[in-house]
Structure 1
Amino acid sequence: MRTALLGGLLLLLAFTAISQSRFSFSGTVTDASNGQVIPGVGVFFSGITRGTLTDSSGKFSIYLPKSGYVVTVRALGYRVETFNINLNQNISRDIKLNQRVDELAEVEVKTTREDRNIKETQMGVVKLEMKNLKKIPVVFGETDIIKALTLQPGITTVGEGAGGFNVRGGRVDQNLVLLDGMPIYNTSHLLGFLSSINSDALSGVTLYKGGIPAQYGGRLSSLLEMNTKSGNAEKLTGSVGVGLITSKVVLEGPILKDKVTFMVAGRIAYPNFMINQFPSPTDKSKAFFYDLNGKVQYKLNAKNILTLNSYRSFDNFKFADDTLYYAKTQNLSLQYSSLISKSLTLNFQGIYSNYDFGTQGYRKDYEFTLNSRIRHNELRAFALYTPKEQIKTEVGINAIDYKINPGDLKPDVSTSSIITLNLPQEFAREISPYINIDWSITSKISMQVGARYSIFQNRGPKTVFAYAEGESRTNQSITDSISYNKNQTIKQYGGIEPRLSLRFAITKNSAIKLSYNRMRQYLHLISNTTAISPVDFWKVSDTHIPPQIADQLSIGIFKNFKDNTYETSIEAYYKDIQNLVEYKNGARLYFNPNIETELVSAIGKAYGIEGSIQKNKGRLKGSISYTYSRTLARVESDYASEQINRGDWFPSTFDKPHNLALSIQHFLGNGWTFSSNFVYASGRPATYPDRTYRLLGKTVIDYSSRNLDRIFDYHRLDASLLKDTRKTPDQKRYTTVSLSLYNIYGRRNPYSIYFVRYNNAMRSYRLSVFGNIIPAVAVTYNF
């Protein structure tokens, strides 16, 4: 007995000694020239096969046995840094890397590890390298986030000049777009020609098509996360750019060295010259926009950071001389981050967002202003806990308060024939606690598992109508009304949203991934157009309109070749959707106080397969992607007035089965880079008239089937030539000049087909936004 007890005691002492002989080595890796943090840097140690990578904040932390090590720090585009440490206690060390002069041919610093597509657990993720965006030929020579994303598989738009984007057949309102955590409800300038975010202000862009972490919710299809630069900590730097329709400036630097940094970016447009080059009923069409980004970061001490972010944009677009469309966004956020210990970080963020949009009419005797608004106030609190290198846990909660004004119509002059109309405002709250765990089980198996529980309350003041049972909802079937007081709960929804991603490494350079997401969406964009327009409006779920729910299952195979020079992937997905918002035939949507009488609930399904090949190294880089996908909807109703296509499945407006994108960038030497894109997409669904007939002496057009026709297929070729005047990568003052040709062979891609009655017969016409080649030049001076 004494022997067993002594043995157990010795074993306990040995275990204690072993556990106490492990210490942490941590720090932050930054660029020596500007103080910017560098994500995805590899930190390796002599004598062991393990290493670690810096996170998005440039930080790393690893536990190792007590010993002496040679530490090697590697990042693409930087000189290798090597030094010795004696790990006999916890050590924290900041590391500065110098750029490599011999990599001028790339003029590129990657912010993600080369094999992240194999090593990361998540799938369906697109990360844009910001320095590559300037090489992509785009319309008017303006660098554009959305246009760059549409070169990736599964991401499309409905056509040229269309606002918003569609992910895996989803609708434009099913994308959660965040800028430094702030929601962006308007993603486009000029009604869809350009992205509303100045790419020069951004440090990173990530789009999640699947495997969306539990931290995020509220939309069915995707998450687009954009982060602005944190500000140069060493000295004042910036750039000034002049293009065909815009000019922009970015400044960043220290306010108090090693304490306070700032970044400010602005862009202003002068597109009227280009507008006047297009056919128009008159020469009075005009447009204007601007956007501003700002960030101030205050390092209170080594462990606490306070960050203030702001964003503001304004658009107006005047068609001829009778109608002006406008949109205004004002966003502000304050975030506090605290490093409690080596393994625990706390974050708090307050967000204010206000989006105003509408139209003004100038037609004589019909002068009016139509205004809508959505206000979004949010509080977020979350903790990131890393007890071991292999496990990262995030726990948090966010609460959102919505106030929506669907529309106010008022005359602008006393002689106007327009009468004042005010739709009742809507109020709602959404509270969502969540937990998300990243776990590297072994070197070959990892998982990300999480859950989000959302609680949504539609609140008063409001009057809610009741409708007769067994009848379709119409104004005539109203049986009663109930009035609710301020802050009184009218209708509550909620439920759990599980998330799961799995990675199985087959070899060092290949992996299989699986993911499952459930998402709930309580906000709906009400629109009878195929793209976002200023007369659309947002609506919250209520007594008659339940939240949309989507379950998505994905599987993918990923393989790299020749030391990660080539990346290949094939992903397949299936999405089941409940409570889609569809519209009755002939629905009247605008200024309808009983909008539920025009809406019907539908079910939906989306499925597809996405393949891509990407070359990442060498003088010639590029990618090719192909997607086959279908998106279908179905309305099951016992009432003839609510049926669409007799209750059969029909294509969604965003159903485009075939999508192909090719992109190349060829480094020619001496700072010259040639780039080219080719895109092809199936024509989107459309509804053509089936027949015409005479009724009481008038010709009536019959549209009996929805979305069973298609407009013509879309295809386009672009090219650009970029000159970078740098002689060395660390050169501070240099110029880039971009020459681009958009739509080289002048394809008249149809945006829509419309019909006009002429002499008791129907004639069809094709509307094309661009029917000619669009040349452009842009010059940027960096300092």
Structure 2
Amino acid sequence: MNRKLLFLFFMLFTWSTLGYGQDRTVVGRDIGELKNIKISGRITDQITGEALVGATVTVRELEKTEITNANGNFNLVLDRAEYVLEFRYVGYETIVYPIVAVGEGRINITMIQEDFTLDDVVIFGRDPEKNIRSTDMGAISINMNTLKELPPFLGEVDIIRSIATLPGVSQVGEASSGLNVRGGGADQNLIMFAGAPIYNPSHLFGLFTAFNPDLVNDFTLYKAIIPAKYGGRGSSILDITPKSGSLTKWGGDLMAGSVSGKASLNGPIVKDVISAQVSFRGSYINWLLNSLNNPELRTSQANFNDINGILYGEINDDHNLTYSFYRSYDDFALASDTTISWTNQSQSVRYQGKFGEKASVDLIGFHTLYDFSIFNQSGINNFDLKSGIIDTGIRFNFNYQVGDNNRIMLGADTKKITIKPGELIPDADSGVLPQNVQEEYANESGFYLQHEWEFGEKFGFSYGIRYDMYQYYGPRTVRSYAENLPINSGNVVGERTYQDGETIQTYDGWGPRVSMRYSIDSKTSIKAGYNKMYQFIHLISNTATIAPTDIWKLSDQFLKPQVVDQYSLGIYKNFKGNIFETSLEVYYKDIQNVVEYKDGAKLLLQNNLETEIIPGQGKAYGVEAYVKKNLGRITGWASYTYSRSLRRVITPFEEEIINDGEWYPANFDKPHDLTLIGNYKLSSLTSLSATFSYSTGRPVSFPEAKFDFAGNSLAFFRDRNQQRIPDFHRLDLSFNFKFKGKGKFYDGDWTFAVMNVYGRKNPFSIFFADQAGSPPQAYRLAILGVPLPTLSYSVKF
């Protein structure tokens, strides 16, 4: 009875109808029943007690592999017989476990991390042939233990930068927080943490990712055929799953690095029932800013921190509940007179349940807040500029396992979005006038059905359909413009005020998804697929990467939703017992209603953005090659992408046409992108890692001349994005030494890393300065122009 009361306190619900409180010990079954014996279990870390998500359970005799779920649980259905089970997980020692199946029971397995043994043994943290046998295209799941072997960025593993090492994924520079996936903009990626969307995944303008890697279990990037349960973005979905905490023992992690430190603690509140986990990360980075070449950065100050909290409760073996809280904060004082700050805050509640052997439910409710502020305290015309976005919604997913190779998924989601584009609040004695841009409101919903079916050894088929619905509503005052004339302030003919909740504009559409797999043999397959995505929210920015001052804009009667059609084809092959994984994929994207900007567009504090933007057409295509080595002293991967991302703007009005209506490169178009990653195990306790990256310089627009207007010298630009900054290349190295503690109390890891080993001055951007008697002169801004060493020490207890 006490446990029931604890759960009532935990979530203010009663769950007795779901079977809470049943005995967790082995339940006997009639020994004469020989078929369909249910064996369940859970796999956890031996030191911390944390669930190991994505571990594999293989039944040798049946050549059957199961994967643990988000809580480390697995289920097997066996006949009465003797079996040998193999338990595997990336970075952990393999466990061989013989069993005799005579009745229903439960197995609890604890695994311990391997000591980098030099024997030729492959440790797979997933089904090693999943890339061959599944119908997934462009879906890449990475465990945090894999990332820990990569060179750290400023002392710690960085999730976003690690994803950028994969084929088809790139960033525009060294201090960029956004991802460009298969020719899409940074706003075309939906990033979710514990099921809640995150709008700015960065600290310090992109130098750090805003997710504490110690609290992340794994993540999956969908960049080709996106499952029908996801919608709302045109290019990719990044789904980050946090750890759930230990139900059996208390433990934690500490890390001290050159520029930041972090600490986490987790353990049971009620043993075997409820666990709690909390994590904090903070910076002391100002010494690094003071060492940079740029004089403005050298006199600036920066701080960031983030905090995570997770409550996890097991109602019984088949039902659990998770509450997740996340908050990140940044402030950056540029040259000591202007402070820029931004905050991400999200909460989510997730229920996962199994009903019998075939049905399961996943229900998530979330609330996300993102806001930024610019505070000018120079002493003249002081002001505070604020903006933000609120996203609140719920998602329901239902899975039904028809058979071993036959699964049906259906569900629905809905959310309300509120955008506060900007409010300017001047000081009482300031000469600046207050401004308040109208807020925007919309509802976005969808429902879907997907069917995955494998028939025989050769063919696999997955098809689905998603129906997206969007409603843009008041209160809002909307202008109307003269027909057959450009949309600008000079052609306004009236306006209409919509009341609270009154519909202004609606959009809807069907988004089909289909992928097919043909296996040439057990190690080779060919896959093809198509999907259509709708996106109803847009990033309004004059930069190539996500910045805290960017504005998010909802689709309205002037700005239609982006519509993306993608076609993909690939061949996948494993060699030498899955030691090597290889793939070659080609893709083509057609993108409608991309946002482009008129020359001289004013974007900040703009009540009528339709006068500053132009709808455009986009297309992207490319070839991606990937080779990964899983075995031996040397492991790693190589990825190469040739891709193009192009834009075109043609309107009935000559003054709005860009580059004479011809195709031109998008701001993030980088045709060649190469990444080489290697990890060399020097001994059982030491390893050396290296990352080399090369990419074509991104496009920029150079002024061709200058002219005087009203006493000011102005630059003249003819065509957009017809020049490029110099190519990017950089080498990073890290040396990792593991300190093994006595007994079970702690293990320590030293990591010494050097970023930009040979001191390449990679340009992040190009700026222009006026010079008498000649056109404006170009200068490059490099964020990291010298080798940057970092040292960190982490301990687990």
Query: Closer, same or farther in 2 for the Cα pair 1:102/1:328, shift >3 Å?
Result: closer
SS, match of residue 141 in structure 1 = coil
Return the match for 1:737 from 750, 773, 777: 750
2:497 pairs with 1:483? yes
TM-score (norm 2): 0.91
SS, match of residue 777 in structure 1 = strand
Q: Indicate conservation of the 8 Å contact 1:654/1:684, yes or no.
A: yes
Partner of residue 39, structure 1: 54
SS, match of residue 95 in structure 2 = coil
Q: Indicate conservation of the 8 Å contact 1:467/1:473, yes or no.
A: yes
Query: Closer, same or farther in 2 for the Cα pair 1:697/1:362, shift >3 Å?
Result: closer
2:396 pairs with 1:381? yes
Query: Closer, same or farther in 2 for the Cα pair 1:487/1:695, shift >3 Å?
Result: closer
- Give the residue type in structure 1 aligned to 2:786: N
Partner of residue 162, structure 1: 176
Query: Closer, same or farther in 2 for the Cα pair 1:782/1:95, shift >3 Å?
Result: closer
2:369 pairs with 1:333? no
Return the match for 1:426 from 440, 462, 469: 440
Shift of the alpha carbon at 1:436? Answer: 2.1
Partner of residue 99, structure 2: 83
Q: Deviations over 1:147-185 (max 9, x none)?
A: 111111111111111121111121111100000101111
The 5-angstrom pairing of residues 245-324 of structure 1 reads 245-279=259-293, 280-281=295-296, 284-324=299-339
2:414 pairs with 1:404? no
Q: Separation in 1 of the partners of 2:694 and 2:73?
A: 41
Partner of residue 708, structure 1: 722
Q: Indicate conservation of the 8 Å contact 1:45/1:69, yes or no.
A: no
Query: Closer, same or farther in 2 for the Cα pair 1:51/1:128, shift >3 Å?
Result: closer
Partner of residue 570, structure 1: 584
Shift of the alpha carbon at 1:415? Answer: 1.9
- Give the residue type in structure 1 aligned to 2:411: G
Query: Closer, same or farther in 2 for the Cα pair 1:693/1:718, shift >3 Å?
Result: same
Q: Separation in 2 of the partners of 1:407 and 1:101?
A: 52
2:386 pairs with 1:371? yes
Q: Deviations over 1:327-381 (max 9, x none)?
A: 0111111122232222112232211111111211112222111100100001122
- Give the residue type in structure 2 aligned to 1:349: I
Return the match for 2:475 from 461, 478, 482: 461
The 5-angstrom pairing of residues 56-135 of structure 1 reads 56-61=70-75, 67-76=80-89, 77-86=93-102, 91-99=104-112, 104=117, 110-135=124-149
Partner of residue 635, structure 1: 649
Q: Indicate conservation of the 8 Å contact 1:189/1:195, yes or no.
A: yes
Partner of residue 6, structure 1: none
SS, match of residue 740 in structure 2 = coil
Q: Separation in 1 of the partners of 2:150 and 2:59?
A: 35
Shift of the alpha carbon at 1:772? Answer: 0.4
Shift of the alpha carbon at 1:104? Answer: 4.3
2:786 pairs with 1:772? yes
Query: Closer, same or farther in 2 for the Cα pair 1:38/1:691, shift >3 Å?
Result: closer
TM-score (norm 1): 0.93
SS, match of residue 132 in structure 1 = helix
2:466 pairs with 1:452? yes
2:533 pairs with 1:513? no
Q: Separation in 1 of the partners of 2:113 and 2:312?
A: 29
Shift of the alpha carbon at 1:102? Answer: 7.5
SS, match of residue 632 in structure 1 = strand
Q: Separation in 2 of the partners of 1:164 and 1:618?
A: 34
Shift of the alpha carbon at 1:448? Answer: 2.1
Partner of residue 552, structure 2: 538
SS, match of residue 147 in structure 1 = helix
Shift of the alpha carbon at 1:44? Answer: 1.7
Shift of the alpha carbon at 1:643? Answer: 0.7
- Give the residue type in structure 2 aligned to 1:583: Y
SS, match of residue 554 in structure 1 = strand
Q: Which moved more, 1:50-59 or 1:353-362?
A: 50-59
Shift of the alpha carbon at 1:194? Answer: 0.7
Shift of the alpha carbon at 1:277? Answer: 0.8
Query: Closer, same or farther in 2 for the Cα pair 1:372/1:725, shift >3 Å?
Result: same
Shift of the alpha carbon at 1:716? Answer: 0.5
Q: Separation in 2 of the partners of 1:112 and 1:529?
A: 39
Q: Indicate conservation of the 8 Å contact 2:305/2:330, yes or no.
A: yes
Equivalent residues, number:
757
Return the match for 1:648 from 653, 662, 671: 662
- Give the residue type in structure 2 aligned to 1:379: I
Q: Deviations over 1:479-517 (max 9, x none)?
A: 121111111111000111111122211111111111211
Q: Separation in 1 of the partners of 2:671 and 2:149?
A: 28
Q: Indicate conservation of the 8 Å contact 1:40/1:56, yes or no.
A: no
Partner of residue 763, structure 2: 750
Shift of the alpha carbon at 1:662? Answer: 0.6
Shift of the alpha carbon at 1:391? Answer: 1.8
Return the match for 2:681 from 653, 657, 667: 667
Q: Indicate conservation of the 8 Å contact 1:110/1:129, yes or no.
A: no
Q: Indicate conservation of the 8 Å contact 1:177/1:184, yes or no.
A: yes
Q: Indicate conservation of the 8 Å contact 2:233/2:534, yes or no.
A: yes
Shift of the alpha carbon at 1:39? Answer: 2.3
Q: Separation in 1 of the partners of 2:670 and 2:423?
A: 36
Shift of the alpha carbon at 1:406? Answer: 0.2
Partner of residue 238, structure 1: 252
Q: Separation in 2 of the partners of 1:597 and 1:330?
A: 32
Partner of residue 185, structure 1: 199
Return the match for 2:694 from 662, 665, 680: 680
Return the match for 2:41 from 28, 40, 44: 28
Query: Closer, same or farther in 2 for the Cα pair 1:158/1:102, shift >3 Å?
Result: closer
Q: Separation in 2 of the partners of 1:378 and 1:608?
A: 35
Partner of residue 359, structure 1: 374
- Give the residue type in structure 1 aligned to 2:199: Y
Return the match for 1:390 from 405, 413, 419: 405
Query: Closer, same or farther in 2 for the Cα pair 1:214/1:636, shift >3 Å?
Result: same
2:365 pairs with 1:350? yes
Shift of the alpha carbon at 1:403? Answer: 0.8
Q: Separation in 2 of the partners of 1:629 and 1:282?
A: 34
Shift of the alpha carbon at 1:394? Answer: 1.9
Q: Separation in 1 of the partners of 2:230 and 2:778?
A: 45
Q: Indicate conservation of the 8 Å contact 1:359/1:534, yes or no.
A: no
Query: Closer, same or farther in 2 for the Cα pair 1:238/1:647, shift >3 Å?
Result: same
Shift of the alpha carbon at 1:732? Answer: 4.5
Q: Indicate conservation of the 8 Å contact 2:43/2:73, yes or no.
A: no
Query: Closer, same or farther in 2 for the Cα pair 1:504/1:283, shift >3 Å?
Result: closer
Q: Separation in 2 of the partners of 1:104 and 1:693?
A: 68
SS, match of residue 234 in structure 1 = coil
Partner of residue 16, structure 2: none
Query: Closer, same or farther in 2 for the Cα pair 1:250/1:635, shift >3 Å?
Result: same
Q: Separation in 2 of the partners of 1:175 and 1:521?
A: 10
Q: Separation in 1 of the partners of 2:701 and 2:401?
A: 54
Shift of the alpha carbon at 1:52? Answer: 4.3
Query: Closer, same or farther in 2 for the Cα pair 1:232/1:50, shift >3 Å?
Result: closer
Q: Separation in 1 of the partners of 2:723 and 2:269?
A: 59
Partner of residue 572, structure 2: 558
Q: Separation in 2 of the partners of 1:35 and 1:360?
A: 43
Q: Separation in 2 of the partners of 1:71 and 1:437?
A: 32
Structure 1, unpaired ranges of 5+: 1-19
Shift of the alpha carbon at 1:210? Answer: 0.9
Q: Cα RMSD (Å) of the superposition?
A: 2.1
Query: Closer, same or farther in 2 for the Cα pair 1:81/1:435, shift >3 Å?
Result: same
